Amino acid sequence: MAVDIEDLLSRMSWEQKLGQLQIVWRKDPAEQRALVKGGLGAVFWPPSAAATNELQRIAVEETELGIPLLIALDVVHGQFTIFPTPLAQAASFDPEVARSDARASAEEARAAGVNWTFSPMVDVTRDPRWGRVVEGFGEDVFLASGLAAAKVAGYQGSGLAEETTVASCLKHFVAYGAAEAGRDYNTTDISERRLRETYLETFRVGVEQGAASVMAAFNSLNGRPMHANRRLLTGVLKEEWGFDGLVVGDADGVAQLVDHGVAADEREAIRLAIEAGVDVVMGGTLLVDAEGTPLLSPGELSQERVDDAVRRVLRLKERLGLFDRPFVDESREATAATAERRATARGAAERCIVLLKNDPGRGRERLPLPPRGRILLAGPYARSLDHLGAWVQRFATPVAAGLADALAAELPGVDWDVAEGADFFDPSEEAVAEAVERAREADLVVLAVGEPSRISGEASSRSDIALPGAQSRLIQAVAATGVPVVVVLVTGRPLVVEDWIDRVDSVLCTWHLGLEAPAAIAAALSGRVNPGGRVPMTFPRAVGQIPIYHDHERTGRPPQLDGMVLPDEQAEFAGPNNTFDYYTSKFIDLPLGPRFDFGHGLSYTTFELSDLTVSPDRLREQDDGAGTAEVSVTVRNTGTVDGDDVVLLFVTDAVASVAQPVRRLRGYRRVALPAGGSARLSFTLAVDDLCFWADGTHRITEPGEFSITVSDGASTVSHPLFLA
């Protein structure tokens, strides 16, 4: 049944309109019901299908206009079935991983009554101190944009009116991930060009994909708090991009305009936010109380702006099919992960694991683990069940067994010894000493260490991003025994690992992989699963290098060694008596470049790239900018086991009127190859991929020579491309 939104809008009173422009959370069910009866338009999940239906019944049967509710929840990487965190998903370099998470999450959430999720987070960030890096897709705009589009598609399916979809929400608009010092909620100051090239682009792609809503960010940008930034919320998002969805404020973000110092009180803050383009206020003082008394009078807000905001809210409710089907079938509600969804989550987890290091020792790499022998497993993640990661609701299906149990099942021929070694935070010299003694009796040691979920995520910025507690000391003490050491690194962000990385044989970075993490990690350690993930965010050598990212702009004095200019990712430290050219861009107390660059990742097999072609290798920009070239390369598995390779396509502009990045990612492909097998991969490179923002007001294309580089980290091939 079609709803005449304009007719409905014309029949609404001022109080009824304001009621649609707020979402609140209330723990007291009676208060929540009273607010809904008073005309509130959106609430947080109660939480159950039955409680949701009761609120919808009140909204449609006990209010004058019978407008159904938006029911919202942060379903970030799973409702009941928890998938890998978004940063881990980015490590898969596989949009299908993000889409499958969103699809399963939408099905579980909608069956429980949720119809609106505050996800995905598409903030690009170059600072791993910021706790919310775990919630996003890393440092690269092109990769993050592709995963954002996949996530939106997964949540929203082929249409929001389907019973298995939820409205997505792109957050946080905009530049929240560029917070000064990596401190959550902090201010940002960014040039217009950088804003366009880096921070707005993921949102533009998400809007193009059809995202139903966008959330304003907590930060101020160039002195203007985002909840009051009309130029971006209205000028860019709604007018320039044509976004017809709704803009929601973040939790108390509107009220915090007072703390920012741009509003004298909350009444003024609400006026500023709505006039700027915020359509739904989250939290704060009620716009309309349970008795129907409005906080603001018609003279305090533009009637036209209020009508536009209400229209957007009603339009989303119509698209969700809520006017026809406000209730959910309570018999379809699941309260725990099913076997089928567990299998999907495990498959996703296996694709996110990154093999950071695997040095040969005694003639062989330490991973995969041998099927027999005596192996010591130690460290806090030996038995910990903390694998779900940040932004998980309390009702999520818990992890039932830890890594020790998973490894015992995966490698039953191994004589396993399990020790504590160190907990996450509190140093224990006795535990470290015990682990060292037991290590001397082992053939190999697996140290499962990392960052617990609670110290990544929102409000969890860290000034020191080394392993917490005594874990580094545990690694060094065990490595000093001379026994081969494999490290399993469970983390929500890139960490600084310099104090121990060169003392161990192998490192497997698993991130927080969700419900099926222990089984997925065990499968990768045994070799039944060959790790194929890649680093989606640079691992710095020291906090002092931050911000550090792969597509940085060129400088006038790039780092040089022995008089030769080297890319950051290729240059090596020359030692105490180094021969760096002194007056170049470097740190005099650090090797050049990061510890692990964007795209780094090893495998239990080897790959080789060859026969790169670019056709045509001369492009002429068409009147409509539609000129394209096909970039093709052969990738071959030159090893003895099956495996996945991740092939990255980079573009470098030789000469431009504005300083360009050393490289820009413009394509990526993950390909599975049997031992000895090969495949021919093709990428379409458009003229638009060669464009850049000149000054923040317009994009330009300049003729000249470009270098097309295809790389998988171990193998690199290049070819010129000319644009006339």
* Residues 369 and 281 reside in one and the same domain: no
pLDDT digits (tens, 9 = 90+) for 625-677: 568 999 999 999 999 999 999 999 999 999 999 999 999 999 999 999 999 99
* Residues 626 and 700 reside in one and the same domain: yes
Cβ neighbours of residue 709 under 8 Å, at least 6 residues apart? 649, 650, 651, 652, 663, 716, 717, 718
pLDDT higher at 79 or 623? 79
How confident is residue 48, by pLDDT bands cut at 50, 70 and 90? Answer: very high
Per-residue model confidence (pLDDT) at position 620:
84
pLDDT digits (tens, 9 = 90+) for 100-109: 999 999 999 9
Domain end, chosen from 526, 554, 572, is at: 526
Give CA 170 to chain center in angstroms.
12
* Residues 367 and 508 reside in one and the same domain: yes
The residue annotated as part of the active site, out of 74, 94, 140, 250, is 250
- pLDDT exceeds 90 at position 291: no
pLDDT higher at 195 or 724? 195
Per-residue model confidence (pLDDT) at position 561:
55
Per-residue model confidence (pLDDT) at position 564:
44
* Residues 320 and 350 reside in one and the same domain: no
Per-residue model confidence (pLDDT) at position 583:
86
Per-residue model confidence (pLDDT) at position 697:
83
- pLDDT exceeds 70 at position 568: no
pLDDT digits (tens, 9 = 90+) for 321-380: 999 999 999 999 988 999 999 999 999 999 999 999 998 865 567 999 999 999 999 999
H/E stretch holding 375 reads strand 373-378
* Residues 44 and 144 reside in one and the same domain: yes
| Cα–Cα distances in angstroms (integers) from residue 294 to residues 248, 288, 291, 297, 551, in the given order | 19, 4, 9, 7, 50
3-state helix, strand, coil in the chain (%, to 5): 30, 20, 50
Domain end, chosen from 526, 553, 580, is at: 526
Note whether residue 714 is domain-resident.
Answer: yes
pLDDT digits (tens, 9 = 90+) for 422-431: 899 987 899 9
Note whether residue 550 is domain-resident.
Answer: no
Query: pTM of the prediction?
Result: 0.95
- pLDDT exceeds 90 at position 560: no
Mean pLDDT of the chain, nearest integer: 94
CATH number at residue 452: 3.40.50.1700
* Residues 150 and 48 reside in one and the same domain: yes
Cβ neighbours of residue 235 under 8 Å, at least 6 residues apart? none
* Residues 311 and 365 reside in one and the same domain: no
Note whether residue 38 is domain-resident.
Answer: yes
Amino acid occupying residue 15: E
What mean pLDDT comes out for the span 219-239? Answer: 98
How confident is residue 1, by pLDDT bands cut at 50, 70 and 90? Answer: low
* Residues 202 and 350 reside in one and the same domain: no
Range of the domain at 626: 607-723
Note whether residue 265 is domain-resident.
Answer: yes
Per-residue model confidence (pLDDT) at position 442:
98
Note whether residue 575 is domain-resident.
Answer: no
CATH number at residue 181: 3.20.20.300
* Residues 317 and 365 reside in one and the same domain: no
Note whether residue 368 is domain-resident.
Answer: yes
Structure tokens at 212: 């139903």
Look at the chain and report how many structural domains it folds into.
3
How confident is residue 570, by pLDDT bands cut at 50, 70 and 90? Answer: very low
Per-residue model confidence (pLDDT) at position 706:
97
* Residues 359 and 289 reside in one and the same domain: no
CATH number at residue 650: 2.60.40.10
How confident is residue 578, by pLDDT bands cut at 50, 70 and 90? Answer: very low
* Residues 304 and 428 reside in one and the same domain: no
pLDDT digits (tens, 9 = 90+) for 464-494: 999 999 999 999 999 999 999 999 999 999 9
Domain end, chosen from 496, 526, 556, is at: 526
* Residues 307 and 380 reside in one and the same domain: no
Note whether residue 208 is domain-resident.
Answer: yes
Note whether residue 538 is domain-resident.
Answer: no
Per-residue model confidence (pLDDT) at position 575:
40
H/E stretch holding 608 reads strand 607-615
298-307, 402-411, 570-579: least confidently modelled range = 570-579
Per-residue model confidence (pLDDT) at position 566:
46
Give CA 432 to chain center in angstroms.
35
| Cα–Cα distances in angstroms (integers) from residue 680 to residues 143, 600, 617, 634, 665, in the given order | 22, 22, 18, 4, 19
How confident is residue 559, by pLDDT bands cut at 50, 70 and 90? Answer: confident
Q: How far apart are CA 124 and CA 570, in angstroms?
A: 25
Per-residue model confidence (pLDDT) at position 695:
84
* Residue 644 is a catalytic residue: no
How confident is residue 2, by pLDDT bands cut at 50, 70 and 90? Answer: confident
Structure tokens at 514: 């969700």
